[in-house]
């Protein structure tokens, strides 16, 4: 008895993940094929138009099986949405670092590339008093701020590696929604746990990406269990990092929990129907608008005294 096409495709996909981890020289199923978002047919990975239904296929993204393409075999090349997130994080870090350097005050602790707490507060860090007064947008802006060069370096390294994996597995619209939802969920828990604490960083959303992959792996039996074991290394990295540096563990837990739930509940791959495609595109646009509105509100109050 033949398996349904979607189930067969998923099985082949996860088999390619397993082979790619241990047999890098073997030709991968996903290296030569991808699925048309309209008719669901398998077509050549490099095709710009589906030969069966004529639908434009869009740019080729990194795929989860073989991981993202890498420069010199070391530096992963992020996919489109991941690239935008990385650029926004770098721009905001550069602006906050510049404002710190021009403030004329010494930075407590002397951490390399450190950002002053009052500068982070002005740029939209998570902090209870202004948030309870109506500045809800800090739940979003705090995800894009970082307190030091080591802080942003660690988070962007993880985002470079994990972002293309999740974006490839779930599609770009779903990835955008997932990133925002997990980042906000992390800071909601952080706000509840420590309303008077100042907190910034993308690590809640990054733990969310780990949670998404872990949640998705539960739908794939023993193969998913093996893949899940490989994901635990990221949790170990975060645990070790937290032992030596002050981190917002509540934001980590909140992002991880939300990510695991979304990974288990949200179907993998491109939306399978026109209605679901429109829904996820609308949710992705709404997420982008929420981010843009949050940054606009941050800019409006940037020079106001708190």
Write down the pLDDT at residue 96. 92
| In a shared domain, residues 129 and 191 | yes
Nearest to 165 by CA among 240, 241, 263, 253: 263
Same domain, 83 and 129: yes
Least confident of 37-41, 132-136, 190-194: 37-41
Q: Is the pLDDT of residue 199 over 60?
A: yes
pLDDT at 236: 78
Domain boundary residue, one of 60, 89, 108: 60
Please check whether residues 15 and 53 belong to one and the same domain: yes
pLDDT tens per residue across span 206-262: 999 999 988 988 877 766 766 677 777 767 777 776 666 667 889 999 999 999 999
Q: What secondary structure letter does DSSP report for 59?
A: P
The conformation of residue 147, written as its DSSP 8-state character, comes to S
Same domain for 85 and 56?
no
| Burial of 156 from C-beta contacts in 10 A (0-12 / 13-18 / 19+) | buried
Residues 191 and 46 in one domain: no
Residue 12: inside a domain: yes
Q: Does residue 223 share a domain with residue 143?
A: yes
Q: Taking CA 127 as the corner, what is the angle to CA 122 and CA 132, rounded to the nearest 5 degrees?
A: 110
Residue 125 pLDDT exceeds 90 = yes
| pTM for this prediction | 0.74
In this model, does residue 146 exceed pLDDT 60?
Answer: yes
Claim to verify: residue 2 and residue 132 sit in the same structural domain: no
Contacts of 15 (CB under 8 A, 6+ apart): 29, 223
Give strand pairing partners of 35: 42
Q: Is 235 among the domain residues?
A: yes
Is residue 3 in a domain? yes
Segment (H or E) for 151: helix 149-170
Same domain for 56 and 83, yes or no, is no
Q: The domain containing residue 5 runs over which residues?
A: 1-60
Residues 32 and 110 in one domain: no
40 compared with 134, residue with greater pLDDT: 134
The total of structural domains in the chain comes to 2
How many residues are present in the chain?
306
Q: What confidence tens digit (pLDDT) does each residue in 36-92 have?
A: 656 656 666 667 777 777 777 655 554 444 445 555 454 555 557 999 999 999 999
Above 50 in pLDDT, residue 129?
yes
Range in 77-81, 160-164, 176-180, 199-203 with the lowest mean pLDDT: 77-81
């Amino acid at each position: 008895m033949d398996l349904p096409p979607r189930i067969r495709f998923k099985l082949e996909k996860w088999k390619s993940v397993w082979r790619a981890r241990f047999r890098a020289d073997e030709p991968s199923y996903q290296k030569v094929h991808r699925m048309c978002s309209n008719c669901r047919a398998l077509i050549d990975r490099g095709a710009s138009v589906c030969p069966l239904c004529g639908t434009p296929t869009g740019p080729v993204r990194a795929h989860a099986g073989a991981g993202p393409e890498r420069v010199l075999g070391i530096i992963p090349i992020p996919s489109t949405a991941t690239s935008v997130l990385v650029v926004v994080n770098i721009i905001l870090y550069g602006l906050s670092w510049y404002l710190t350097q021009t403030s004329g005050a010494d930075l407590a602790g002397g951490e390399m590339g450190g950002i002053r707490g009052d500068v982070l507060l002005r740029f939209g860090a998570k902090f209870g008093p202004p948030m309870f007064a109506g500045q809800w947008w800090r739940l979003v802006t705090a995800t894009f701020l970082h307190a030091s060069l080591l802080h942003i370096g660690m988070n962007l390294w993880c985002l470079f590696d994990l972002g293309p994996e999740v974006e490839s597995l779930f599609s770009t619209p779903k990835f955008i929604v997932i990133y925002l939802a997990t980042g906000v969920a992390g800071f909601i828990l952080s706000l509840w746990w420590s309303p008077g604490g100042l907190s910034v960083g993308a690590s809640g959303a990054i733990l969310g990406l780990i949670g998404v992959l872990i949640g998705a792996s539960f739908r794939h039996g023993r193969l998913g269990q093996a893949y899940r074991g490989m994901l635990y290394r990221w949790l170990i990295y975060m645990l070790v990092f937290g032992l030596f540096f002050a981190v917002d563990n509540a934001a980590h837990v909140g992002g991880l929990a939300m990510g695991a739930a979304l990974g288990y509940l949200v179907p993998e791959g491109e939306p399978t129907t026109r209605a679901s495609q429109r829904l996820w595109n609308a949710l992705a646009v709404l997420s982008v608008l929420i981010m843009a509105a949050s940054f606009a509100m941050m800019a409006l109050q940037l020079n106001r005294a708190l």
